[in-house]
Structure formats: C-alpha cells, structure tokens
Amino acid sequence: MTAREAAAGPVVTGIGVCAPTGIGTEAHWQAVLAGKSGIRRIDRFDPTPYPVRYAGQVPGFSAKEHLPARLIPQTDHWTHLGLAAAASALADAGVDPAELPEYEMAVVTAGSSGGTEFGQHEMTRLYRNGPSWVGAYQSIAWFYAATTGQISIRHGMRGPCGVLCCEQAGGLDVLGQARRLVRLGARLVVSGGTDASLCPYGLAAQLTAGGLSTVDDPARAYLPFDAAASGHLPGEGGALLIVESAAAARDRGAGEGYGTVAGYAAGFDPPPGSPRPPALRRTIERALADAGLQPADVDVVFADAAGLPARDLAEARALAAVFGPRAVPVTAPKTLTGRLYGGGAALDVATALLALRDGVIPHTAGPERPAPGCEIDLVTARPRDADLRTALVVARGHGGFNAALVLRRPRWHRAPAGSVHQHRAPSGTRGGSG
C-alpha cells in the first residue's frame, strides 16, 4: 500500500447487522430512519419477577436459517448472532475468503459477557444433576473467545485473531485493533461484536450494575440526555464489519467501501475519587488528532448515551468542550435497541457508515425534554438531512473505558438520488414506541 493509504487508514467494505432493529443492514437502517424500536417484552424467559421486563431482542432470529445445524448446539446465542452477522458482512463486502491468502485474514471481536445463557444452562445441570451432566460444549461455548474462534474456523481465516473485552467500549477498540493488524500486514479483518445476555442470570447480573432503567414503559425507559433519563434497557445482537486494507479493497474494485477508519483513541477514567477529569474529552481529541482533523471537520457524533443523568451530563460536557455548545449534531439511535454491550459500539459504527452513505443523520427516538446542562444539539423526532463527510463514534464501558473512532466517507462519494427520503418518518410523529 502507499504511504498515503497507510496514513489514511483501512476501509470498511462490508456490514453485517443482527440487531433488535433487524436482521440485515437495510432492515436495520430502515428501522432506524423510521424510528421503529426493537425493544419489546423479554420473551427468551419469563421476565415477570424482575424490575426490568423490556429489552432489545433480535426479531425473528432463527439460528437454523443462518448456521450449519451441527454448530447450533455447540454455541451460545451470542455466537449464533455473531456467526450470522459475520457471514452477512462478508457477503455484503463481496468477499470469498477461500480466494484470499489464509494468513492475511483475521477476526477480532469485542466480548463483554460471553455465553451467559449457555453457561446458566450448564451450571443448572452441574448443580441439579452433578458434574458428569455438564456437556462437552461448555468448554468452547461459554468463554469469551468462542465467537472469534468460530468465525475463524467457519471462514478459514488463519491470521492473528483476537478478542478485546472493554465492555461497551470494546466495539470501537476492536476496530482500532483491526487497523493495527492491517498496518502489520493483514488484508482483511472481521471486526465488531455481538452480545446476548438476556437470560435470568445475565439480567440479574446487569441489574447490579446500577445502569438499567426500571421504568415499565418501553418508550420511556431509555431516554438519554432527557430530563427524565432513568438508565438504559439491555439488548442483544450487534454488528460485524469487514475492515480491509485500503490497497486490498482498491485492488479488488471495492473502492473505499462505506468509508475509512480515519482515527481512533482509547483512554481510561482516573480512579474513583481522583480530582483529575474523566478521560472522554481527551480521548475524543486524540482520535481527531490521530485522524488529522479539527473538531469543525466533524459533521455528526454518535454518542455513548448512557441514559443516566450524571453520565449523560459528563458526555454532553465533553462534547461541548471539544466542539463548542450545540456546535455539532449528536445522535443516539441505540434507544431503539437498548445498550448492546459488546455489540453496541460496533452497531453504532455500522449506523454511522450508513449515515455517511446516505447523507442523513438518524434521530434519537424518545428524548423530548433536554436535561439541564446538556448543551448538545441532539437530533430528535426525525432524521435530519446533512452533507456528511466525517462521523465521530463515542463509547464508554463499565468501569472507566473510553473510546472514540473517526469515520470518513469515501472520497468519490456521490449523494444518493433522493432515495433516502422515502424512509423518513412522517413529520410530527415520534418514534420509539415499537
């Protein structure tokens, strides 16, 4: 590759979505633009005993339609979603892995909680029946590397595979890692993440983190940056992306794909009680510097949007400090899916790339009354047309993780001829009540 290409970063040539907003990239994108929520009453188990009963669930997902039959009992639901999204991303990129050098393809996924549902089943067997009832697949289904390993095996990818666990920030960190691997010689990296901890034990664990909203109305439970913010709802699914070296993509005629990974940075918050400021602001600034861009170059920000007043305020302040108060449109379509942990930031990146493609900022369905002190231009109520060249995606993970990723649309981008407008939500209606 040329020095300029190496400096510009790798490109994203394929997107595979398996999310509460839909299976498949276009289904997801249309739902996002229409403000159609994927949040509904939990149906993988009876949520009645729990203070949180709604979650983002992938609608109509059948593992049988996406996976070889023998793989289904060997893997957790989280891996099913990951395998489905990976295959879809490869198809979208128009790549046949069998035709590429095996050692130049890698898989790096974000893990957050592993095969929780599978693990709960096996622990139930262990405690009810005894050790010999634990199945042979527990050893390969529960651990955090299961999805990466299975994707690598299914597609014959023998390069440097990996898993990073940085809770919700991990979806950006793996794209940073994909860029690192491309710089070291990888041609193609399957990257991103999925999550699925919607089992009783997974929900019980999430309830202890203090971030879940117990508001029993799916349209009012997750309202980031709103005066009524009360936390978030959980969700399952996510997105996997095909990250390619710019030269490899160009040589096979894929151009710059959906866009370029132009900048990335990660930072960690100071320990609790430290007088030092949180890391988000400087993480964003470093990602912009890494991309060689100024704040004014950013056309839209996909926010982390924790949905908790203090966390929202901290994020709004960081954005206002970098860009100026209300100086850049900010959005958080994740109100339609809930927070997806290992899958969340990767899905935000997918959505941001689609926004760059179509020149439209998807709105944040739900929030109506800005929380005091949140000096951001939150795009609400309906999508907003805009000439988008550069998007910033921000993510924070439980415990202090911060990450920021800068995406640039292809240089030879042509705005779509009006096709996006048919997706627009009728004016005056409010999304979010799926």
Partner 1 sequence: MSRTAAITGIGVVAPGGLGREAFWELLTEGRTATRRITLFDPAAFRSRIAAEVDFDPRAAGLTAPQIRRMDRAAQFAVVAAREAVADSGLDLAGADPERLAVSIGSAVGCTTGLEQEYAVLADEGRRWLVDHTLGVPHLYGYMVPSTLAVEVAREVAAEGPVALVSTGCTSGLDAVGHGAALIEEGSADIVIAGATEAPLSPITSACFDAIRATSPNNDDAEHASRPFDARRDGFVLGEGAAVLVLEETAAARRRGAPGYAHIVGFAGRSNAFHMTGLKPDGREMAEAVRVALDRARLGPDDVDYVNAHGSGTKQNDRHETAAFKRALGRRAHEIPVSSIKSMIGHSLGAIGSLETAACALALERQVVPPTANLRHADPECDLDYVPRTAREHAMDVVLTVGSGFGGFQTAMLLARPGARGGRG
β-bridge partners, 330:
301, 378
Spatial distance between the Cα atoms of 83 and 26, rounded to a whole number of angstroms: 18
Output phi, psi for 92, to 5 deg: -65, -40
Which residue stretch of 28-36, 100-108, 366-374, 409-417 sits at the interface with partner 1 (rule: CB under 8 A)? 100-108
Q: What angle do CA 116, 219, 343 make, to 5 degrees?
A: 35
What residues between 182 and 211 interact with partner 1 by CB under 8 A? 197, 200-209
The CA distance from 228 to 284, in Å, is 27
Residue type, 194: T
Residue among 260, 282, 258 at smallest CA distance from 269: 282
120 is an interface residue for partner 1 by CB under 8 A: yes
Taking the complex as a whole, the smallest distance from the CB of residue 44 to partner 1 amounts, in Å, to: 11
How far apart are CB 413 and partner 1 at their closest, in Å? Answer: 29
Using the contact rule CB under 8 A, the part of the chain among 116-124, 236-244, 328-336, 354-362 near partner 1 is: 116-124
The C-alpha atoms of residue 292 and residue 393 are separated, in whole angstroms, by 16
Q: Which of 16, 35, 114, 263 binds partner 1 (CB under 8 A)?
A: 114
* Interface positions, 37-96, toward partner 1 (CB under 8 A): 45-46, 49-51, 74
CB of 342 to partner 1, least distance (A): 9
Give the count of residues interacting with partner 1 (CB under 8 A): 87
Q: How far apart are CA 299 and CA 397, in angstroms?
A: 24
Identify residues 124-163 at the interface with partner 1 (CB under 8 A).
124-128, 130-132, 134-136, 138-140, 142-146, 148-150, 152-153, 155-163
Query: Is the CB of 287 or the CB of 361 nearer to partner 1?
Result: 287
Give the nearest distance from C-beta 401 to partner 1 in angstroms.
Answer: 6
Q: For partner 1, which stretch binds (CB under 8 A), given 6-14, 83-91, 114-122, 218-226?
A: 114-122
Residues 253-272 that bind partner 1 (CB under 8 A): 266-272
CB–CB of 76/117 below 8 Å? yes
> Could you tell me which of 396, 301, 402 has the C-alpha nearest to residue 352?
301
